[in-house]
Amino acid sequence: ILIVEDEGDLRDSMIDYLELEGFRVDGASTLVAATTRIQTQRYDIVILDLGLPDGDGLQWLRDSGSLQGAGVIITTARGALEERVR
């Protein structure tokens, strides 16, 4: 699992929990870091925040052709209904 989340405490908590459940988990705080990890490691699942310091996670997802069939779970703190539905 790759967790792409810029909030360090949240990312670390998610990693700790999933590791306790027996998953192998990596974290990335930026889209650049996520891209680098995906180029060197295959992930079954990517947990992706939309609001990242170096870009929009949804646009990155659309542009990224290198997810190698990984499932994606999107997380966001965006409150507007239109944003959440998109």
- Tell me what the mean pLDDT of segment 12-34 comes to: 97
Task: Look at 67 and 21; give whichever has higher pLDDT.
Answer: 21
Q: How confident is the model at residue 16 (pLDDT cuts 50, 70, 90)?
A: very high
pTM (predicted TM-score): 0.87
Of 51, 53, 46, 52, nearest in space to 67 by CA = 46
Q: Which pLDDT does position 64 carry in this prediction? A: 75
Burial of 77 (0-12, 13-18, 19+ CB in 10 A): exposed
Percent over 70 (pLDDT), the chain: 87
CA 67 to chain centre: 11
Interval 33-61: pLDDT, tens = 999 999 999 999 999 998 899 999 989 98
